[in-house]
Amino acid sequence: MNARSHEEYKDNIGAYVLDALPELEAELLERHLAGCESCRAEVEQLRPVPAAIARSVPQVEPPPSLKANLMATVNAEAGAREVEAREERRRERRSFGSWIAGLKPRVAVALALGVLALGVVVGVAADKIAGGGGPAGTTVAAKIDRKQMPTGQASLVVKGNTGELELSDAPQPPSGRVYQLWYQHGKTIERGGTFRPRSDGSYDVDLPVAGANAVLVTVEQAGGAPAPTGPPVMQFTV
C-alpha cells in the first residue's frame, strides 16, 4: 500500500462523494480524512451535491405491491417482536412455578395439531414427494395444497441440522397475510418465522430442522399466529 500525498487524496474527493472510488481507494481516503481537516471540509462542502442529484430524477409512481410487501414484512416483524416480548414475560412468570401458565401452550399445541391434521385429512392435493440423498443433502419436495397455492414450486434440502427452503413462482399471500413456518416434533409443534416471497415469487431461507419430523407452512395474519389457524399450504416430511 503506497503512501500518498495530500494532493493525491484531494484529487480523489470528487469521485469519493459520487461513490465512484474503488473500495480500497475509498478506505485509504477515509483514513486520510480522519486526520485532515481541510479535506474533511471539502467533502462536507460537496456532499450535498449528490444528495441534490438524487432529488433531480423524474418522479415515478411506485407500484402498490411495493408498500404492501414492505409493510407485510414490517408488521410481521413488529408482531414477532411483540410475541417474543410476551413469551419472555410468560417465561418469567413460569419461573415462579405457575402450573397454569405452563398448561396454556400445551392446549394451543393440541388445537394446532387438530387443525393441521384436519387440513391433511380433508384433502391436500399433494404433489409427489421426491427424495434424493448424498453429500449435497436430501431433497424433499413439498406436498402443496393447490387450492390455496395454485402455482409455484417448493423444495427443502436437508443438510444435517439445516433445511434450505427454496420457493419459485410462489404467489403472494393475500393482502395483510403472510406465510408462516411451523416445525412438528412428534406431538408438539413449534412456531417459526413468517415471510413473503420476493416480487418474482422466489424465496430462500435456512431453517433449523434438527429433531423436526415435518416442516409446515400456513397462511396467517401479518405478524404471524401463536398456533396455526388453518390447514397447511405446503408441508415437508423430514
User: Helices 37-46 and 23-35 sit at what angle, rounded to 10 degrees?
Assistant: 120
Nearer to other proteins by C-beta: 223 or 232?
223
The CB-of-203 to other proteins minimum distance in angstroms stands at: 12
N-terminal to C-terminal alpha carbon distance within the chain: 52
Nearer to other proteins by C-beta: 12 or 184?
12
- Judge whether 52 and 199 are in contact, CB under 8 Å: no
- Judge whether 231 and 122 are in contact, CB under 8 Å: yes
Largest CA distance in the chain: 76
The span from the CA of 145 to the CA of 174, in Å, is 16
Nearer to other proteins by C-beta: 75 or 139?
75
The CB-of-36 to other proteins minimum distance in angstroms stands at: 16
Phi/psi of residue 184, nearest 5 degrees: -100, 125
The CB-of-108 to other proteins minimum distance in angstroms stands at: 25
Taking residue 191's Cβ as centre, other Cβ atoms within 10 Å add up to 21
Nearer to other proteins by C-beta: 72 or 154?
72
Grid coordinates given for 138? 436430501
The span from the CA of 210 to the CA of 123, in Å, is 28
The CB-of-69 to other proteins minimum distance in angstroms stands at: 6
Nearer to other proteins by C-beta: 163 or 223?
223
Nearer to other proteins by C-beta: 80 or 111?
80
- Judge whether 237 and 142 are in contact, CB under 8 Å: no
The span from the CA of 69 to the CA of 200, in Å, is 12
Nearer to other proteins by C-beta: 2 or 95?
2
The span from the CA of 154 to the CA of 136, in Å, is 17
Contact residues toward other proteins (CB under 8 A) are 11-15, 17-22, 45-63, 65-67, 69-71, 73-75, 77-78, 81, 198-200
